[in-house]
Amino acid sequence: MDCKSLTFKLLSGQDMPLIGFGTFQIRGRSLIKDVLDWALACGYRNIDSAAVYGNEHDIGLALKDLLPKYKLKREDIFITSKLSPSDQGDRARNAVANSLQNLQCGYIDLYLIHWPGASGTPTNSTENAKLRDASWASLIKAKEEGLVKNIGVSNYMVKHLTELLNNCYGVKPAVNQVEWHPGCHEAQLKKLCQKEGILLQAYSSLGGTGNKSLLDDPLVESIAQKLNKTPAQILLRWAVQQNIAIIPKARSRERIEANISLDFVIPDEDMVALSNRKSERYAWNPHSVK
């Protein structure tokens, strides 16, 4: 079992690595190059970014140097970016083009609507639904033009995803990236994604930060000790073992390597115990967006 080679066949037929490298809150040309260098060295081939992360340009510059270093071609790397809520609507196609210009990578493998709402629009406004519908139509144009190979969504709950599937202009979302960990996982959402062939991708796999982190959870710690793994590895493996994609971020070489070293199995009883942990959402709550 080599987790580095695990992939999911998207609706387009393209294979997407199940384990990706997240870059949220990682900025600065030197730091970006260092972490991507370490990530590529230990086997990551999936890089996740977003317009609002402010690091697309530095990622593009880093890859120009690093791909030749590891004898990799553009098609060996899977790159994801996301639509800023400020570009929700008819501007979405141009936002893809802008991300592509920043990344300087020829095409983007996956582009997601980052949030079901729009900047400056109240969460309870029906205008959000109109704008994300316009965004989807615009992303289809970008896909048809070859700017992006796959399009999808992020932070879409069952109601948002059902709405999109009922009016997707013949193009289903390839991926739905949501907060997903033992304290936050909705069975109905997972069931819907599986039924429609949509890859469920987790962010915030380790929970929150500081005293809100799941890394110090007694149950997680006990399973980690039993299996001689780190708490982070347990939380990441919990998702991968369910065929859910992950995008852990890290700034140190040691943690970057550990996060992709998931070639072990969590016993069934421990998987159940983790899944039965109390409900706890650490990031944003998309349920509030109408």
Percent of the chain with pLDDT over 90: 93
The 10s digit of each residue's pLDDT in 126-148 is 999 999 999 999 999 999 999 99
**Residue 284 — pLDDT band, cuts 50, 70, 90?**
confident
pLDDT score, position 261:
96
pLDDT score, position 146:
98
* Whether the predicted pLDDT of 95 surpasses 70: yes
The 10s digit of each residue's pLDDT in 213-248 is 899 999 999 999 999 999 999 999 999 999 999 999
pLDDT score, position 211:
61
* Whether the predicted pLDDT of 104 surpasses 90: yes
Percent of the chain with pLDDT over 70: 98
**Residue 283 — pLDDT band, cuts 50, 70, 90?**
confident
**Residue 1 — pLDDT band, cuts 50, 70, 90?**
low
Question: How far is the C-alpha of 56 from the C-alpha of 24, rounded, in Å?
Answer: 11
**13-277 architecture in CATH?**
Alpha-Beta Barrel (3.20)
- Which of 53, 111, 156, 203 is the catalytic position? 53
Residue 233, phi then psi, degrees to nearest 5: -65, -35
What is the overall mean pLDDT for the chain? Answer: 96
pLDDT score, position 271:
98
Whole-structure pTM value: 0.97
Judge whether 70 counts as a catalytic residue.
no
The 10s digit of each residue's pLDDT in 186-216 is 999 999 999 999 999 999 999 876 666 899 9
Residue extents of the structural domains in the chain: 13-277
pLDDT score, position 137:
98
Does 181 count as an annotated binding residue? no
pLDDT score, position 41:
97
The 10s digit of each residue's pLDDT in 245-257 is 999 999 999 999 9
Compute the average pLDDT of residues 143-160: 98
